[in-house]
Amino acid sequence: MKTVRAVGLFDSGVGGLTVVNEIYRALPLESTICFGDSAHVPYGSRSAEELIYLADKIVSFLINQGVKYIIFACNTNSSLSLPILQKRYPIPMIGLVQPGAKWALQVSRNRRVGVIATEATVQSASYERAIKAMDANALVFSQAAPKLVPLIEAGKIDTTETRMAINEYLTSLKKNGIDTLILGCSHYPFLSKIISEELGPEVVLVDPAQATVLEAKADLAARGLLNYFNGQKPQHQFYVSGDPKSFQAGARIFLGESLTRVVKVELL
Ligand code: DGL
C-alpha cells in the first residue's frame, strides 16, 4: 500500500489551529503534522533573522517527519521567511499572504482594504505589496495589533481586556472607510465574532487560511500529491516546543478537540 504522507504546517502557537480547522473542512482525507513553536511565541516582535532561523529548524523537522507539503500557517513567517526557505528546500510550500490578499481583492467593493497583523508583518508591508501588485489602485491600511496574540494564547477571547484592545486597533481602520478587513495573523480568526461586532456587518472579514487551504488543495492535486480515500483514517499529529498542556488547553477551546498526544520537541 502507498504510504500516506502528511501535510506539514507550523505557527508560533495556537494560530496554526485556524489552518488545521480549514484542512479538516476542505481536505478531510489529508493527514497533518502541526508544529506549534510555543517556546518562541510571540513571533510578531522578532527580527527577520530570528524568524528565518526558527522557521528553518521547523521546516527541517517537518521534512524529517516525511511531510509532502508545508503550509506556513503564520503570516509573520509567510511574510519574512517563506521567500527565503522556498529557495533553500525543494519541498512545495505555501504561505497565507498571497492567497489572503487575492481573496480580499475579490470581496472588496470599494478597494479600501484593512489589515490587522503582527508588528513584523505590518513592517514587512507584505500584504500591501501583494495587493498593490494585483491592483495598483487599491488602498491598503495596516494596523499592528501586538496585544492580541498573548491574549488569545491565554484563552482570553470575550473579555473586557480583549474588547478594549480590539477597539483601540480598529479605530483608525474604521475612519479610513475600509469595507474589507484581512485577519493578517492566524491567531485572529478566533476573535472574528468580536471584531465583526466592532466593525459592523458591512465590513467583510477575510481569514487567509480559507483561501490558502483551497489553493493548497489545487496545488496538491496538480502535483499528484492529493490523498484519495483508501480506507485509512487520516492521522493528525501535534508537536510543540513549549508546554504541551497549554497547547492542549488551547486546542480544547479553538479546535473543540481533546488532543491526547502533543509531543514536546527541542528545536536544535
Ligand atoms: N500567528 C502568527 C501570525 O500569523 C504569529 C503570531 C505571533 O506569534 O506573534 O503572524
**β 139-144/180-184 pair status:** unpaired
On the question of pLDDT at 268 being above 80, the answer is no
Q: Is the pLDDT of residue 3 over 70?
A: no
| Most ligand 1 atoms within 8 A of CB, residue of 50, 51, 58, 74 to mutate | 74
Mean pLDDT of 248-261: 93
Nine-digit cell string for 124 = 514587512
Which of 9, 10, 12 gets mutated to test ligand 1 (max ligand atoms within 8 A of its CB)?
A: 12
Indicate which residue's Cα is closest to atom 2 of ligand 1.
Answer: 74
Q: What DSSP string runs through 94-107?
A: EESHHHHHHHHHHH
Of 91, 1, 57, 16, whose CA–CA distance to 259 is shortest?
16
Checking if the pLDDT of 15 tops 60, the result is: yes
Pick the CATH number of 7-95+210-264 from 3.10.129.10, 3.40.50.1860, 3.40.50.720, 3.30.1330.20: 3.40.50.1860
User: How far is Cα 52 from Cα 163, in angstroms, rounded to an integer?
Assistant: 32
Question: Which residues does a 6 A CB cutoff place in the pocket of ligand 1?
Answer: 11-12, 15, 41-44, 74-76, 118, 121, 149, 185-187
Q: What angle do CA 148, 127, 98 make, to 5 degrees?
A: 110
Which atom in ligand 1 lies closest to the alpha carbon of residue 121?
10
With cell 522557521, the residue in question is 55
pLDDT per position as a tens digit, 93-151: 999 999 999 999 999 999 999 999 999 999 999 999 999 999 999 999 999 999 999 99
Cα 120 to ligand 1 centre (Å): 9
Is-contact 189 165, C-beta < 8 A?
no
Residue 267's pLDDT band, with cuts at 50, 70 and 90, is confident
- Using DSSP's 3-state secondary structure scheme, residue 84 falls into helix
pTM above 0.85, yes or no: yes
Q: Which amino acid is at 247?
A: F
Mean pLDDT value across residues 178-199: 98
Residue-wise pLDDT for 203-236, tens only, equals: 999 999 999 999 999 999 999 999 988 888 999 9
Report pLDDT for 63: 98
- Ligand 1 centroid to Cα of residue 16, in Å, is 9
Burial class (CB in 10 A: 0-12, 13-18, 19+), 214: middle
CATH number of 97-208: 3.40.50.1860
| Amino acid in position 235 | Q
97-208 has the same fold as 7-95+210-264: yes
For the chain, what percent of residues have pLDDT higher than 90?
Answer: 96
Mean pLDDT of the chain: 96
Print burial letters for 49-77: b (CB count within 10 Å at least 16), e (below 16).
eebbebbbbbbebbeeeebbbbbbbbbbb
Residue ranges per structural domain of the chain: 7-95+210-264, 97-208
